[in-house]
């Protein structure tokens, strides 16, 4: 797809989903990091039901670093993979305290040094916590829609992102991040896409 067509698709989706924003609840960059880690293979809705109990008492790196691992596991249990996630969250809190002066780093390289934070998660944190998008977070929705629209033939998320960055100008990163997710959740649904309702159906290379 040509760059001008990609921009047109983004504009169409922006008009179709004027309220497209991040669906994870958070108040601080650290809370964003924790929410993103919990969202791995878990719905944002479930994360948002779990984090209020956690953040009420343990919303800072200091508080989480002092928690018993068993207590953290108990609170985040509903989000799945709770043992691994609890371990990563606690280690991340300690690294932020010891290596970054208690503040979440504001660059991709340092974010990706945190346990449980890969490129996709780092992209989300840069976008949502710091309003400074560095790329496109390729989740299952972004992957599917990128393939359907012919934006990428790759299946690896990082390769898909590199393909997207070739055709999406930086000023559209913010919108593209949200719109790909919203379109995937609300219209281009994996099991049963609503092609008859799709505002960018004419651009789709893999129509149902």
Residue 189: which residues within 8 A CB-CB, separation 6 or more? none
Active site residue 120: yes
Structure tokens at 177: 């991040």
DSSP string, 101-150: TTS--SSHHHHTTSTT--HHHHHHHHHHTTS---S----HHHHHHHHHTT
Query: What DSSP character marks residue 172?
Result: G
Cα angle 38, 50, 83 (rounded to 5 degrees) comes to: 45
Active-site residue among 85, 120, 143, 148?
A: 120
Query: What is the C-alpha to C-alpha distance for residues 40 and 76, in angstroms, rounded to an integer?
Result: 12
Where are the extended beta strands (E) located within the chain?
A: none
Active site residue 113: no
Contact status, residue 152 vs residue 146, Cβ threshold 8 Å: yes
Query: What is the C-alpha to C-alpha distance for residues 69 and 120, in angstroms, rounded to an integer?
Result: 26
Active-site residue among 90, 139, 143, 148?
A: 139
Burial 25-47 (b: 16+ CB within 10 A, else e): ebeebbbbbbbbbbbbebebeeb
Indicate which residues carry an active-site annotation.
120, 139
């Amino acid at each position: 797809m040509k760059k001008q067509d990609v921009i047109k698709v983004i504009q169409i989706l922006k008009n179709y989903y004027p309220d497209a924003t991040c669906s994870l609840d958070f108040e601080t960059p650290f809370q964003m990091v924790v929410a993103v880690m919990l969202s791995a293979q878990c719905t944002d809705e479930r994360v948002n039901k779990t984090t209020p109990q956690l953040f009420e008492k343990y919303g800072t790196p200091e508080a989480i670093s002092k928690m018993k691992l068993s207590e953290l596991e108990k609170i985040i249990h509903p989000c799945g993979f709770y043992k691994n996630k609890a371990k990563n969250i606690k280690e991340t809190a300690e690294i932020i305290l010891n290596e970054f002066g208690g503040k979440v780093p504001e660059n991709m390289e340092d974010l990706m040094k945190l346990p449980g934070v890969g490129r996709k998660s780092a992209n989300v944190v840069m976008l949502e916590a710091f309003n400074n998008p560095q790329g496109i977070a390729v989740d299952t929705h972004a992957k599917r829609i990128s393939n359907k629209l012919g934006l990428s033939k790759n299946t690896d998320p990082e390769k898909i992102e590199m393909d997207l960055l070739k055709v999406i100008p930086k000023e559209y990163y913010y919108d593209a991040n949200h719109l790909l997710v919203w379109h995937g959740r609300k219209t281009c649904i994996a099991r049963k896409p609503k092609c008859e309702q799709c505002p960018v159906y004419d651009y789709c290379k893999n129509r149902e």
